[in-house]
């Protein structure tokens, strides 16, 4: 099943279009007399957009050629079939035919066509989101293998094949979010295309470079938004919104990247205009529009929009024209149009006319996927105009048309739910939302990991479906609701809510990491009863909506209590949490416990009597949003900290939490540390002089442990050591940074190198001995920024992404004099079979509280994942 995104234009117009044009589109071939008519019929049908007729003709010709076995025309027909299936969005079929074509050319020793076919096969994998496979075919991660497309093209001096392969590799890296490599390969592709005067591939490389810098700008703007939410608005002299403040610097970076992107789009547009290539002109104009809007250049935006409107009616009746029409309709206004926002009343008629044009072309082509998107978007315009009858009619048509491909089906099921809700039909709306989520669950992995462009739209196209269903199901509850085990229907409703909450947590992690391998490994193994915690344990689940917050607590024996806080919307929660976090991080003043009392009053206090009655000793938090970024241990009831009464753990998702217990016998640790000053990407990290002692002490805690310090602490040495020995515990004492962007999340290693969490996961999984994965990873001296919701999400998922059952990590950097004390007491607690990991951490923190140590030093240590 093809599962391309709804991010139409940038996804569909890649190097693939250019190489198809440059390398021949479909090929009329010199066939045997018996089959010549069939091949010609297929070519004619393809050129007329009659793809099913083309497929039938070429399939018949292929059968004839394969019957004669060693027929040289077989590979050419296979190429034609691959291209037509790619054209109609059936990428898995296209991959199958490209693979057969590759085998044919290998068998015949035709290196030129072999290299070019490998490139087109890689493009097909890229469109499916399988970037690793595409990169392997085109070159490889580090250096190009001799059988890769680039190596073959360079060996036989096939400049056309090389420019296409380099560009395709750049596009694969762009969609994977590795923008630095994308720029390098796309520039190499552009240079060769210019040297050979291949203007089609020049335009393709230029547009991909424009898209890369546009994505970089989006990252900068998103980081600026995170910086603004945590209050980083002051410059070096304390001036608000000064040019050197983090927020303003990031916004300036975004603007500069947008301007670079526009230069590439404009150069491509100039080339396309010279060539009178309407398709490429429209592509460049539409790609430029969001950038002009972001830069507030209304004059340039209006000019580009009008040019695109004038040109789009001249485009041929192809699927690409349909998607261009949809994107242009959405870009008629500067305010973003998405499934959670609407078209303005003034542009609705023009948008509807454009979208109807797209529907007509898609139906003429019999392209069900394009028809579905065009009908669905047209239905959204009527939803915006509150013509719910027409909206529902068009949405139903879109839904039925999407049944085969399914990649857009969840969107129209969700749209149906929104329309029904607007018609005051809550039960029918809930059913539609549930259907949408069931569909989304079946394709979500691909959607959230395939394309970094799509990940920018997560908050508009995936997250609202889960939150919408949770809100509607919780609407059936009072502000305080206690559900007893005997209340079957209410238990069913609560179970549905918690399952949806857990699914949202999984989706958030997939969106953040862009890699679902480790997540799925855990999710398929563990199935936790969300309603029935372990004895003496309570699960706290939070949901933060724009206007209110819900806290759901599950007690042993399937008792559940839900409390709504109508005065605690996202804005109020954010301010409160950031104040609490800043107060805790201030090492030089006494912590104001009232900051902890504020959150305690609505998060814990409503359940205090229940916790006592149920004899709860351990609290497990499954937090939402910014609540992940603050330590629950420092909440205060007016008399004592929360950690003084309960052992505490946090997990991103119960169904992603390994149930494996720590074997207290034969515990040993691989202790990794960096005590020296380091510099990574022009950022300096100070020395940690006490790390050497910390590593020595960890070695002394457990027999057969081993330490790697400074220059010995490298990814290569870690991999070598883990390949030889299984270590239940990996202790890492170094600077670590958790950022809103996964690529900026890393641990500092020796020799000024960095180790990302996915790389650590790869090392752990590739070297697991006797299938024994790591049970615990300890990360000291790590840091997440105040108010950075995405960075907190990265830390929350660190145990899962690093391939471990649990992690002990710090939310901010602490004095490396205190850290060894916490670590020592924690590890001593681990050796006590009467204590679980959460209780071992509690014991270590209580020891510091008794010494009257500020919570700034002990509270940032949190246990993530399995607490047993």
According to the 3-state scheme, what is the secondary structure of 375-427? HHHHHHHHHHCCCHHHHHHHHHHHHHHCCCCCCCHHHHHHHHHHHHHHCCCHH
Residue 73 has pLDDT above 90, yes or no: no
* CA–CA distance, 777 with 802 (Å, rounded to integer): 8
The conformation of residue 576, written as its DSSP 8-state character, comes to H
Residue 21 has pLDDT above 50, yes or no: no
So what's the pLDDT on residue 712? 96
* Average of per-residue pLDDT across 649-653: 93
* CA–CA distance, 659 with 805 (Å, rounded to integer): 8
Q: Count of alpha carbons within 13 Å of 249, Cβ hemisphere only?
A: 9
Residue 11 has pLDDT above 50, yes or no: no
The token pair at 716 is 């290569």
* CA–CA distance, 333 with 289 (Å, rounded to integer): 10
Domains, the chain, in order of start with CATH, read 1-195 (1.25.40.10), 198-315 (no CATH), 480-655 (no CATH), 661-865 (3.40.50.1460)
The token pair at 555 is 């007690």
* Average of per-residue pLDDT across 313-339: 91
Q: Say what percent of the chain tops pLDDT 70.
A: 91
* Average of per-residue pLDDT across 553-573: 93
So what's the pLDDT on residue 449? 57
pLDDT in tens, 786-820: 667 777 888 888 888 887 889 999 888 887 788 88
- Tell me the pLDDT band of 36, cut-offs 50, 70 and 90: low
More confident residue, 12 or 827: 827
Residue 436 has pLDDT above 90, yes or no: yes
* CA–CA distance, 686 with 671 (Å, rounded to integer): 20
So what's the pLDDT on residue 733? 93
Count other Cβ atoms within 10 Å, centred on residue 471: 18
* Average of per-residue pLDDT across 746-757: 90
The conformation of residue 534, written as its DSSP 8-state character, comes to P
The token pair at 171 is 């596009």
| Alpha helices in 715-818, H assignment, sequence order | 715-724, 757-766, 789-796, 798-801
So what's the pLDDT on residue 56? 93
So what's the pLDDT on residue 18? 40
Whole-number Cα distances in Å, 692 to 704, 736, 825, 826: 18, 17, 18, 18
Q: Say what percent of the chain tops pLDDT 90.
A: 60
Q: What is the largest CA-CA distance in the chain?
A: 94
| Alpha helices in 586-626, H assignment, sequence order | 593-603, 608-613
So what's the pLDDT on residue 477? 57
The pLDDT mean for the chain works out to: 87
More confident residue, 540 or 86: 540
Whole-number Cα distances in Å, 403 to 91, 396, 435, 439, 710: 16, 11, 13, 10, 56
So what's the pLDDT on residue 28? 43
- Tell me the pLDDT band of 3, cut-offs 50, 70 and 90: very low
More confident residue, 22 or 705: 705
User: Which single residue is written with the structure tokens 């242009």?
Assistant: 328
pLDDT in tens, 678-726: 999 888 999 999 899 899 999 998 989 999 999 999 999 999 999 889 8
The conformation of residue 240, written as its DSSP 8-state character, comes to B
DSSP string, 421-486: HHTT-HHHHHHHHHHHHHHHHHHHHHHHHH-HHHHHTHHHHTHHHHHHHHHHHHTTS-SEEEE-TT
User: Which single residue is written with the structure tokens 């416990």?
Assistant: 593
The token pair at 64 is 């004839």
* Average of per-residue pLDDT across 509-537: 71
The token pair at 138 is 């085109």
* Average of per-residue pLDDT across 575-601: 91
So what's the pLDDT on residue 68? 78
**Which are the contacts of 67, defined by CB distance < 8 A and separation ≥ 6?**
none
- Tell me the pLDDT band of 51, cut-offs 50, 70 and 90: confident
Among the listed residues 558, 633, 636, the one whose alpha carbon sits nearest the alpha carbon of residue 601: 636
Q: Are 635 and 606 in contact (CB under 8 A)?
A: no
* CA–CA distance, 4 with 2 (Å, rounded to integer): 6
pLDDT in tens, 368-390: 888 999 999 999 999 999 999 99
Taking the alpha carbons at both ends of the chain, their separation in whole angstroms is: 41
Sign of CA dihedral 640, 641, 644, 648: positive
pLDDT in tens, 189-237: 999 999 999 898 999 999 999 999 999 999 899 888 877 876 778 888 8
Residue 351: phi, psi to the nearest 5? -65, -45
More confident residue, 36 or 609: 609
So what's the pLDDT on residue 365? 82
What's the helix, strand, coil split of the chain in %, to 5?
Answer: 60, 10, 30
Residue 783: phi, psi to the nearest 5? -155, 140
* Average of per-residue pLDDT across 540-554: 94
Enumerate the β-bridge partners of residue 394: none
- Tell me the pLDDT band of 460, cut-offs 50, 70 and 90: confident
So what's the pLDDT on residue 797? 84
pLDDT in tens, 120-143: 999 988 887 788 889 999 998 778
Q: Are 829 and 843 in contact (CB under 8 A)?
A: yes
Radius of gyration (C-alpha) of the chain in whole angstroms: 29
* Average of per-residue pLDDT across 819-837: 93
So what's the pLDDT on residue 521? 59
The token pair at 147 is 């059988």
The token pair at 650 is 């946090």
* Average of per-residue pLDDT across 506-518: 74
Enumerate the β-bridge partners of residue 579: none
Q: What is the pTM of this model?
A: 0.89
Sign of CA dihedral 291, 293, 296, 300: positive
**Which are the contacts of 610, defined by CB distance < 8 A and separation ≥ 6?**
553, 555, 559, 561
């Amino acid at each position: 099943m093809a599962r391309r995104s709804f991010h139409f234009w940038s996804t569909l117009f890649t190097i693939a279009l250019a190489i198809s044009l440059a390398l021949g589109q479909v090929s009329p071939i010199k066939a045997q007399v018996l089959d010549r008519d069939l091949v010609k019929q297929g070519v004619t049908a393809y050129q007329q957009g009659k793809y099913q007729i083309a497929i039938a003709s070429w399939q018949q010709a292929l059968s004839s050629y394969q019957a004669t076995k060693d027929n040289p025309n077989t590979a050419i027909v296979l190429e034609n079939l691959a291209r037509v299936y790619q054209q109609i969005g059936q990428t898995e079929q296209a991959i199958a035919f490209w693979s057969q074509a590759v085998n044919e050319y290998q068998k015949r020793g035709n290196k030129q066509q072999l290299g070019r076919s490998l490139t087109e096969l890689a493009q097909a994998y890229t469109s499916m989101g399988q970037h690793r496979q595409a990169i392997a075919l085109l070159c490889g991660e580090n250096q190009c293998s001799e059988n890769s497309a680039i190596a073959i093209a360079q060996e036989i001096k096939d400049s056309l094949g090389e420019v296409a392969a380099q560009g395709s590799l750049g596009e694969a890296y762009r969609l994977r979010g590795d923008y630095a490599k994308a720029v390098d390969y796309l520039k190499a592709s552009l240079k060769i295309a210019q040297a050979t005067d291949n203007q089609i591939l020049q335009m393709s490389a230029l547009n991909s470079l424009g898209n890369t810098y546009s994505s970089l700008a989006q990252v900068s703007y998103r980081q600026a938004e995170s910086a603004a939410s945590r209050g980083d608005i002051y410059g070096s002299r304390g001036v608000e919104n000064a040019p050197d403040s983090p927020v303003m610097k990031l916004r300036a970076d975004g603007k500069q990247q947008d301007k670079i992107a526009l230069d590439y789009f404009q150069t491509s547009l100039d080339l396309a205009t010279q060539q009178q290539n309407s398709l490429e002109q429209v592509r460049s104009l539409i790609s430029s529009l969001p950038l002009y809007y972001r830069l507030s250049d209304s004059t340039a935006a209006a000019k580009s929009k009008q040019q695109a409107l004038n040109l789009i009616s001249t485009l041929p009746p192809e699927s690409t024209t349909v998607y261009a029409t949809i994107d242009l309709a959405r870009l008629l206004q500067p305010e973003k149009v998405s499934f959670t926002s609407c078209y303005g009343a003034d542009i609705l008629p023009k948008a509807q006319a454009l979208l109807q044009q797209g529907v007509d072309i898609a139906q003429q082509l019999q392209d069900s996927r394009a028809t579905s998107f065009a009908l669905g978007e047209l239905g959204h315009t009527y939803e915006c105009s509150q013509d719910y009858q027409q909206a529902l009619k068009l949405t139903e048509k879109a839904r039925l048309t999407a049944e085969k491909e399914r990649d857009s089906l969840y969107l129209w099921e969700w749209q149906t739910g929104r329309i029904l809700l607007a018609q005051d039909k809550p039960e029918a709306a809930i059913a539609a939302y549930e259907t949408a989520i069931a569909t989304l669950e079946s394709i979500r992995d691909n959607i959230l990991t395939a394309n970094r462009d799509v990940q920018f739209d997560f908050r508009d196209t995936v997250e609202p479906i889960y939150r919408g269903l949770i809100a509607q199901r919780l609407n059936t509850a009072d502000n305080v609701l206690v559900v007893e085990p005997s209340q079957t229907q209410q238990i069913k409703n609560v179970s549905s809510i918690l399952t949806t909450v857990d699914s949202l947590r999984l989706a958030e992690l997939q969106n953040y990491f862009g890699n679902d391998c480790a997540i799925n490994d855990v999710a398929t193994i563990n199935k936790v009863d969300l309603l029935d915690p372990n004895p003496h344990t309570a699960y706290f689940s939070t949901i933060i909506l724009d206007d209110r917050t819900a806290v759901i607590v599950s007690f042993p024996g399937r008792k559940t209590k839900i409390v709504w806080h109508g005065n605690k919307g996202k804005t109020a929660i954010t301010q409160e949490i950031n104040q609490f976090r800043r107060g805790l991080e201030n090492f030089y003043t006494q912590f104001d416990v009232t900051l902890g009392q504020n959150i305690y009053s609505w998060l814990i206090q409503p359940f205090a009597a229940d916790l006592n009655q149920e004899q709860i000793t351990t609290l497990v938090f499954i937090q939402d949003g910014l609540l992940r970024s603050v330590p629950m241990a420092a909440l205060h009831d007016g008399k004592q900290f929360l950690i003084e009464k309960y052992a505490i753990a946090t997990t991103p998702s119960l169904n992603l939490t390994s149930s494996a217990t720590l074997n207290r016998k034969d515990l040993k640790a691989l202790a990794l540390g960096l005590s020296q000053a380091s510099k990574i990407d022009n950022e300096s990290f100070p020395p940690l002089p006490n790390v050497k002692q910390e590593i020595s002490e960890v070695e002394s805690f457990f027999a057969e442990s081993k330490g790697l310090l400074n220059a010995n602490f490298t990814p290569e040495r870690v991999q070598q050591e883990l390949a030889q020995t299984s270590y239940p515990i990996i202790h890492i004492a170094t600077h670590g940074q958790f950022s809103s962007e996964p690529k900026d999340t890393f641990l500092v290693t020796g020799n000024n190198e960095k180790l990302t969490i996915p790389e650590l996961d790869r090392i752990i999984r590739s070297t697991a001995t006797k299938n024994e994965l790591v049970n615990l990873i300890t990360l000291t001296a790590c840091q997440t920024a105040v108010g950075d919701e995405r960075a907190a999400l990265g830390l929350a998922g660190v145990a899962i992404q690093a391939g471990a059952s649990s992690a002990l990590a710090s939310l901010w950097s602490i004095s490396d004099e205190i850290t060894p004390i916490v670590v020592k007491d924690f590890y001593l607690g681990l050796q006590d079979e009467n204590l679980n990991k959460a209780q071992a951490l509690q014991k270590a923190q209580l020891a510091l509280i008794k010494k009257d140590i500020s919570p700034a030093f002990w509270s940032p240590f949190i246990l993530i994942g399995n607490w047993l």
